[in-house]
């Protein structure tokens, strides 16, 4: 039996990955390490929490001693590292959390893996899940390739870039078997409603203003979260040590076009007149340092490891909207309490 530690498994992408691994690999022991910050939610994993091959441990990756004691006890064969502070706006208002969790936390995991594997690291793997934001911002043309120079421009992306560099450095200097992937914007179920798609679905449903940053001209490349989880599975098992793989959907949308599409779909689903939800659009002060465009060239992953995205965007977006409409209780539970204060700080003064 293999033991795989997944960090950040109670978050958005992590919970999809835990579900995939617990169901697909009954012979693996999946240990989910998560601090349960505002973004971590065990309700995301209700359907697998009693599975015999699954275990949850509440731990902060910044706590080096605790992390080492877990690694020492479980002797994992693989680590898939997703735990992070992940929201760009929060990194602008409070960069330090990002530096602790994303940089120091990653270093602690690398040190713990190095200590327990020593020079017997054959067949082991440290997989670091990263973002396309490390490459900076594109103009109208071009794509991020694995060879694109790093140019992070927000505290979030700078902290992720630092962690990528650390993972590569440990691979190079200490022969720690590692692999990195850099993915574009994910969408789907269980995403915390601070991110564009779930935030706007929730606001449309509740007839609340839709705060579009700047002119809504920024472009993102959207990928269904389950396709990201599938890519991680393939790279974890078949990727080459020391390599990097870009993951993306070839699916670029300006924010405003995406928001208009969401409004039209939701008018239909909520029985509103066409155009009614669009009236909620409200242009607000732009995000500081707002990256204009992200677009991923995922041809390496497609050619070498035969991964392709499975869902057309319109179909995925409909499915996603349906999920949030059907899971009102999940949304209401996380938008009570602290979320209200976050929302006020982030949007009321904009």
Residues marked as catalytic: 132-133, 156
DSSP for 52-81?
TTEEEEE--TT-HHHHHHHHHHH--SEEEE
- DSSP character at residue 99: I
**Applying CB under 6 A, which part among 81-89, 145-153, 238-246, 261-269 lies near ligand DAU?**
81-89
Q: Round to whole Å and give the CA distance between 332 and 11.
A: 17
Selection from 55, 40, 49, 50 nearest residue 4 by Cα: 55
**Applying CB under 6 A, which part among 110-118, 213-221, 309-317, 335-343 lies near ligand DAU?**
213-221
> Does the protein bind ligand DAU through residue 218 (CB under 6 A)?
yes
Footprint (CB under 6 A) of ligand NAD, residues 22-61: 34-37, 39-40, 60-61
What is the nearest approach in angstroms of ligand NAD to the Cβ of residue 52? 23
Q: What x-and-dash track marks residues 167-186 binding ligand NAD by CB under 6 A? A: ----------------x-xx
What is the nearest approach in angstroms of ligand NAD to the Cβ of residue 343? 16
> Does the protein bind ligand DAU through residue 185 (CB under 6 A)?
yes
Q: Round to whole Å and give the CA distance between 272 and 115.
A: 59
Footprint (CB under 6 A) of ligand NAD, residues 51-110: 60-62, 82-86, 101, 105
Would you put residue 196 in left (φ > 0), alpha (ψ -120 to 50) or beta?
Answer: alpha
Selection from 55, 41, 43, 64 nearest residue 6 by Cα: 55
What are the helix (H) ranges across the chain? Answer: 12-24, 64-74, 88-93, 95-98, 105-117, 155-174, 196-205, 225-238, 255-269, 299-305, 313-326, 328-334, 338-343
> Does the protein bind ligand DAU through residue 195 (CB under 6 A)?
yes
**Under the rule (CB under 6 A), what is the footprint of ligand DAU?**
86-88, 131-133, 184-185, 195-196, 199, 211-213, 218, 220, 255, 287, 294
Q: Which residues contribute to the site for ligand NAD (CB under 6 A)?
A: 8, 10-14, 34-37, 39-40, 60-62, 82-86, 101, 105, 129, 131, 160, 183, 185-186, 192
């Amino acid at each position: 039996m293999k033991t795989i530690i997944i960090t950040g498994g109670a978050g958005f992408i992590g919970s999809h990955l835990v579900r995939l691994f617990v169901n697909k690999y009954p012979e693996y022991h999946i240990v989910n390490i998560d601090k349960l910050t505002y973004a971590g939610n065990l309700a995301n994993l209700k359907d697998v929490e009693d599975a015999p091959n699954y275990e949850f441990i509440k731990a902060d990756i910044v706590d080096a001693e605790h992390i080492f004691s877990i690694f020492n006890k479980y002797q994992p064969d693989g680590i898939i590292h997703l735990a992070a502070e992940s929201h760009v706006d929060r990194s602008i208002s409070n960069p330090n959390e990002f530096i602790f969790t994303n940089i120091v936390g990653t270093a602690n995991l690398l040190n713990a893996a190095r200590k327990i594997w020593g020079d017997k690291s054959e067949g082991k793997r440290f997989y670091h899940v990263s973002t396309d934001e490390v490459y900076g911002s594109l103009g109208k043309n071009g794509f991020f390739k694995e060879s694109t120079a790093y140019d992070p421009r927000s505290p979030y992306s700078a902290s992720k870039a630092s962690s990528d560099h650390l993972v590569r450095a440990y691979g190079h200097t200490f022969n720690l078997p590692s692999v990195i992937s850099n993915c574009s914007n994910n969408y789907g179920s269980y995403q915390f409603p601070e991110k564009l798609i779930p935030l706007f679905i929730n606001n449309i449903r509740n007839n609340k203003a839709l705060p579009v940053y700047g002119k809504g001209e920024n472009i993102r490349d959207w990928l269904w979260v389950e396709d990201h989880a599938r890519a991680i599975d393939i790279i974890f098992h078949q990727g080459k040590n020391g390599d990097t793989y870009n993951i993306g959907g070839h699916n670029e949308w300006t924010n405003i076009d995406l928001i208009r599409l969401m409004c039209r779909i939701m008018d239909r689903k909520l029985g509103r007149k066409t155009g009614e939800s669009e009236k909620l659009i409200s242009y607000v002060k732009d995000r500081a340092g707002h990256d204009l465009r992200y677009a991923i060239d995922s041809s390496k992953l497609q050619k070498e490891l035969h991964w392709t995205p499975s869902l057309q965007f319109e179909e995925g977006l409909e499915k996603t909207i349906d999920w949030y409409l059907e899971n009102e209780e999940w949304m209401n539970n996380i938008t009570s309490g602290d979320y209200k204060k976050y929302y006020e700080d982030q949007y009321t003064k904009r």
